[in-house]
Structure 1
Amino acid sequence: MAQIHLNIQQEMELIRLIEFERAKSATAEGQGRRCAFPLKPDDPLQAELISLGALAVATQTLPDGRANPIVAITSAGYTFFTEKARRERELRRQQRRDYLLVLISGAFAMLCTVIGFLVGRMA
């Protein structure tokens, strides 16, 4: 699955939609049901999320036979936040590793300096 990249506004909109969906499904009888949102052609943020693959457009047939375009959150939209958290954990792990390497290098340099000073004083 292709990884999507969102800016802060897009992330906030996706968070809002997911939280609304979770709140709606928690109050409904069917737990875990997905929500469909109305398609807003004049909303540039929704259009960006659709083009990035976080949202998908589908058509819903109304009882009177008309086609109603709706928007639903895709699996890429759901997994975006778990992937983002995984990337941040990996970045923190690498930063801790780098910090530890610099600390060990500094301690070794200090030890070498002290040994050099002691050897110099004895000679």
Structure 2
Amino acid sequence: MAQDKTLMGQEIQYKDMMRDVINKSRDRKIMLNLTVQEVQGQLQMKEDACRFLNESLKDLKQGLEQEKEDKADLKEGQSTVQQECSLPEVNVRALSQKLKTEAGLLSVGG
């Protein structure tokens, strides 16, 4: 009888130890799953951030190209204005009179 009680006590103790091992194992598995989910979430955030940064970089490059084109157009326009301004001055009154005369001839002839 005493030996049976000792064996039953050891069996209960063994079952308690096994239950603790199973519970600890399950807890570790839960913690690992949570850690994996957290790492996956962080990875997704980093991928999203990289995608956003790449799109922003592409937009900046396009903006830079457009700015270069705009500067080239501006230089061309400035060059044209400088050329036109460097032409000899025209006598505005003589030109105006000539236009009036030609206009008068057209209306008389028409």
Rg (Cα) greater in structure:
2
Q: Which has the higher strand share?
A: 1
Higher RCO (CA-CA < 8 Å; seq separation 6+):
1
* TM-score w.r.t. length of structure 2: 0.49
